[in-house]
Chain A
Amino acid sequence: ELKVEQNPLFLSMQEGKNYTIYCNYSTTSDRLYWYRQDPGKSLESLFVLLSNGAVKQEGRLMASLDTKARLSTLHITAAVHDLSATYFCAVDILGGADGLTFGKGTHLIIQP
């Protein structure tokens, strides 16, 4: 059974600071996804990481994937209030067609 663990589950930080969210998963996969969810809203796709060593950046967010360590990170640089949201990582089983397995999410609050 594929397990996906995120940490931290809750993070409160100040604007201007840097921080990293971690996503570990338990079985072989080379496809990892990061989503953002604002309160009461749906999930918005942020990054799709499709190979070992993949790194993608969008604004103040950067995501990376290490398939050997079964680890992905989402790094926030110089955080701003608008990045407050819940961030989910999700993994699918290599070669599978079973949909995504999600982590519990990281609830991020960025205070001015």
Chain B
Amino acid sequence: ETGVTQTPRHLVMGMTNKKSLKCEQHLGHNAMYWYKQSAKKPLELMFVYSLEERVENNSVPSRFSPECPNSSHLFLHLHTLQPEDSALYLCASSQSAGNTEAFFGQGTRLTVV
């Protein structure tokens, strides 16, 4: 139990589908992150939220849309994805955005067909 829970653990979706990934942290942290882990690339930071405000968006395509309704929950809304978006999506949290000792969830393995 890492204190950061992601659902679903596995997701297969078509290119025309709309789906959402969910992340919940039980650590009382104020910052949450989405990372993408592809087979042949380093972990890529996608989004950073601090106190529910987005503070970083690393040139992520608009087909990925984050939402942070409160400091404990983070969503990643997906629509019209491409096969190259297939990857492991990891959520993480830290005490604050300036304190980046991050604790990771188990990840969602996404396959786009």
Contact = CB atoms under 8 A, between A and B. Distances in A.
Contact of A99 (B2, B56, B106): B56
Interface string A90-107: 101001111111111100
Interface string A37-49: 0001111110010
Interface in B89-113: 90, 92, 96-98, 100-107, 109
Interface residues of B, number: 26
A41 B106 contact: yes
B77 to A, nearest CB: 20
B107 A42 contact: yes
Contacts of B101: 33, 45, 48
A92 B102 CA distance: 11
A104 B42 contact: yes
B97 A97 contact: yes
B43 interface: yes
Contacts of B87: none
B33 A97 contact: no
A88 interface: yes
A92 B101 CA distance: 9
Contacts of B21: none
B74 interface: no
Interface of B: 2, 31, 33, 35, 41-43, 45, 48, 50, 55-56, 90, 92, 96-98, 100-107, 109
